[in-house]
Amino acid sequence: MINCSQLIEDMDLEGNPSDHRIVVAMSGGVDSSVTAALLVKAGFNVVGLTMQLYDHGKALQKKGACCAGSDINDARSVANKLGIAHYVLNYENLFQDQVMEDFADSYLKGETPIPCIRCNQTVKFTDMFDRAKKLGASAMATGHYIRRKRKFGKPALYKGIDNFKDQSYFLFATTNEQLEFLRFPLGSLTKDETRNIAKLYELNVAEKPDSQDICFVPEGKYADVVRKLRPGSIDKGDIVDIKGNILGQHNGIIDYTIGQRKGIGIGGRKGVEDKDTILYVIELDPYKNQVIVGPKEYLKCKEIVINECNWITENPQKMKSKVWVKLRNSSDPVSGKINVDLETGSSALLFDEPQYGVSTGQAAVVYNPEDTEHVLGGGWITKAPNMLS
Amino acid sequence: MTKSIYLDYNATVPILAEVKKSLLECMDLGPVNASSVHYYGRTGKSIIQLARLNIANLINTKSENIIFTSSATEAINLLFGSFKEIIVSSIEHLAVLNSSKSDLFIPVDPSGVIDLNYLEKLLKEVSKGNQEILVSVMMVNNETGVIQPIKQVVDLTRKYGGLIHCDAAQALGKIKIDFEELGLDFLTISGHKIGAPTGIGALIFNNNFNLSPQILGGGQENGIRAGTENILGIRGFGEAASIMSKMPENNFSKVNFFKNYLYNKIRELRPDTIFFGQEAEKVCNTLLMALPNTPGDLALMKLDLENFSVSSGSACSSGKISKSHVVSAMGHNHLASNSIRISLPPNDFILETEGLITIEELDRLAECWSNI
């Protein structure tokens, strides 16, 4: 189950493991704990770093609660068990500025953001990354289910072996430079194997449930968080059909996402011609403060524009002909054509088959058509015109 | 793993060998609950009484003025519970700042000494009301080591009819503390700063002030602080106090030598290092310094990985390091996240018996600092 020599080889570092300090980003979960444990057992000089991103007491609105969640304590006790140095990085202000503000603004614009990718982009793989380098580390390892392999002498990114856990979608923004320094020891393991290793090493997080939600959003109630971050800027408005007829009221467009079907809140729709047509959220209009609903076919989207693109491949313009694109973490990749403009960092993606419910603010992650495990990069969806647009 | 060189004596001092011996003896005395009436209870009472005498002797007060608590923090909370209007200095320990809930701050000058004129201004304003005023100023700042003009604070406060508390946690074992001579109303101290175990502190008070207890129960400590007495902690505190009392005065020439050596070495190897509070009167063991462009937590991690245990800013229980409110208060806000504190043993006795500091290690420390 644990193959130290394979791990050491995958670490892609010259000399003996003991020559190398490896910084492990330890969240306190089972994945990063096992990452640290594997590297310790393989003989590396491991240092654990945990990011303090927000005040947990405040986030849960619990009076007198400590700013740190139990995760920091879990990370610390694992580090202690492994006999490694462990530090907490105070990134509360940084996280607020770089991730939470963007998260709120994005919802107000009618988008559906992915703060976890923003966090990787702006905090974890920039500031923590920088700290790891300054601490003299040879590499920084995380517990992501993704593989890093050398391809033509350059590090390349591949999906994790465990299809259910693959996190390549969240790491499309990893730059070539970052990838030189990053390592993902769990990419070749399944989640079950990770848990078994945690049990074998008697880590007290072995049975800890996987985190499901965005870390700073308690119980998945993201709209509550946006309301707290942007008090006074969320107004009631109309829910309208595609012709502009008012069907009901909403308490803020932030409560809706494109493609949403359940819980739109318009009940029995009197006066609507075809009562049996199921309505979906087709568009969120931040200017008119409207939620526009309609039948599914209006969600059809044939092409999108992505921005802030990141390419982890030699010549991204060569991809033209055909690529596979993932539009959500939970859905399968779809085929299409891409036109990369390296100068503007913007690319156009044309789908072979129209897609439904594509939302701006999400990421489009591109995979190699010849090897669908191979992540080529991607970008943020800024335009996703559907039949209404 | 290599043991780390400990240079964080302001945080805590290792349990002194003689204290440890006396604690082991105490553990052999049997089931001691000082509240019991029988033989063992009497044994406990006598242990507490002896400790009170030793501590009273060290700080020149009467033994009946001492209330044992779990920490200086608890002692401060106990005291502040009886006051509504509290004036504090802006460089107080968080135990004072957070428990006083005060918004009446005495500022400090760039060298870290409190502004007495401003204190008088505050006293003038506040004394117009009918409330009883408490002024709380620390004797020695824990980050800079700067000694505060307590005698003048007492005189000023008296002039306006206020009461004075002095947090002397960092002064104990470093400079002479004379409760009577200073004319203080309240003093708080902590055992582990002089080589007793952690978990024992004391509130000293010297007037007819009626303290309202925070912890109610069996009426221990004259009903002011209930809960079975921490016999081991009290014994250890008393023993450490007795050792400190036997030291000659100004017993810090070696500490001073080491500190100056390190100071000069760092200035030589890393001339851009900024030192705080150097212009003021300071205790001998403390150096607070910063590099202009290096966050303190980075410097701390690098030194820790090189086996030097120092501190930075104030760390909460999460382990995250926040910027130093002391450095900010001194007007160096831009450096408040960069400061690193090196604290040597509080006096020569502890340096010689417990401190394992050598010139070679200080050389290596200065070298590491210069490479950050």
Last residue of a domain, one of A263, A294, A325: A294
Clarify whether residues A47 and A161 are in a common domain: yes
Domain spans of chain B, in order of start: 5-15+250-370, 17-246
Clarify whether residues A343 and A313 are in a common domain: yes
Inter-chain CB pairs, A–B, below 8 Å: 51
The confidence score (pLDDT) of residue A220 equals 82
**Is the pLDDT score of B201 beyond 90?**
yes
In a domain? residue A269: yes
The answer to whether residue A47 neighbours chain B at the CB level (below 8 Å) is yes
Chain B residues in contact with A85 (beta carbon < 8 A): 301, 304-305
Clarify whether residues A88 and A216 are in a common domain: yes
Q: Which of B185-194, B207-216, B246-255 has the lowest mean pLDDT?
A: B207-216
In a domain? residue A145: yes
SS3 track for chain B: CCCCEECECCCCCCCCHHHHHHHHHHHCCCCCCCCCCCHHHHHHHHHHHHHHHHHHHHHCCCHHHEEEECCHHHHHHHHHCCCCEEEEECCCCHHHHHHHCCCEEECECCCCCECHHHHHHHHHHHCCCCCCEEEECCCECCCCCEECCHHHHHHHHHHCCCEEEEECCCCCCCCCCCHHHHCCCEEEEEHHHHCCCCCCEEEEECCCCCCCCCCCCCCCHHHCCCCCCCHHHHHHHHHHHHHHHHCCCCCCHHHHHHHHHHHHHHHHHCCCCEECCCCCCECCCEEEEECCCCCHHHHHHHHHHCCEECECCEECCCCCEECCHHHHHCCCHHHCCCCEEEECCCCHHHHHHCCCCCHHHHHHHHHHHHCC
Q: Per the CB < 8 Å rule, is B320 touching A89?
A: yes
Structural domain that includes position A317? 299-383
Question: CA-to-CA distance for B7 and B299, rounded, in angstroms?
Answer: 14
Clarify whether residues A64 and A169 are in a common domain: yes
**Is the pLDDT score of A302 beyond 90?**
yes
Q: Give me the residue from A68, A83, A135 closest to B302, CB to CB.
A: A135
Clarify whether residues A289 and A320 are in a common domain: no
Q: What pTM value is reported for the model?
A: 0.90
Clarify whether residues A308 and A241 are in a common domain: no
The answer to whether residue A85 neighbours chain B at the CB level (below 8 Å) is yes
Clarify whether residues A25 and A173 are in a common domain: yes
Clarify whether residues A239 and A356 are in a common domain: no
The answer to whether residue A318 neighbours chain B at the CB level (below 8 Å) is no
Q: Give me the residue from B298, B304, B316 closest to A134, CB to CB.
A: B298
Q: Name the catalytic one among B26, B284, B316, B368.
A: B316
In a domain? residue A227: no
In a domain? residue A228: no
Percent of chain A with pLDDT over 90: 76
- Domain total of chain A: 3
Rounded average pLDDT over A289-311: 94
In a domain? residue A389: no
Question: Is A116 assigned a catalytic role?
Answer: no
Clarify whether residues A117 and A60 are in a common domain: yes
Rounded average pLDDT over B28-53: 95
Determine the residue among B99, B310, B318 to mutate to test chain A binding: the one whose Cβ has the most chain A Cβ atoms within 10 Å. B318
Encode pLDDT of B73-82 as tens digits.
Answer: 999 999 999 9
**Is the pLDDT score of A271 beyond 70?**
no
In this structure, what DSSP letter does residue A230 have? Answer: S
Clarify whether residues A274 and A341 are in a common domain: no
Last residue of a domain, one of A158, A193, A222: A222
Last residue of a domain, one of A199, A222, A245: A222
The confidence score (pLDDT) of residue B128 equals 83
Clarify whether residues A116 and A138 are in a common domain: yes
Question: CA-to-CA distance for B279 and B63, rounded, in angstroms?
Answer: 37
The answer to whether residue B309 neighbours chain A at the CB level (below 8 Å) is no
Chain B residues in contact with A83 (beta carbon < 8 A): 1
Q: Name the catalytic one among A67, A116, A215, A301.
A: A215
Q: Which residue of B has its CA nearest to A131?
A: B298
Q: How far apart are the CA of A72 and the nearest CA of chain B, in angstroms?
A: 7
Clarify whether residues A218 and A256 are in a common domain: no
Q: Per the CB < 8 Å rule, is B320 touching A136?
A: no
Note the CATH number of domain B5-15+250-370: 3.90.1150.10
Encode pLDDT of A311-370 as tens digits.
Answer: 998 888 777 678 999 999 888 999 999 999 888 889 999 999 999 989 999 999 999 988
The answer to whether residue A64 neighbours chain B at the CB level (below 8 Å) is no
Query: Does the structural domain B17-246 have CATH classification 3.40.640.10?
Result: yes
Q: Per the CB < 8 Å rule, is A92 touching B1?
A: no
In a domain? residue A230: no
Q: Give me the residue from A21, A68, A92 closest to B317, CB to CB.
A: A68
SS3 track for A286-337: CCCCEEEEECHHHHEEEEEEEEEEEECCCCHHHHCCCEEEECCCCCCCEEEE
The answer to whether residue A2 neighbours chain B at the CB level (below 8 Å) is no
Q: What's A266's domain CATH number?
A: 2.30.30
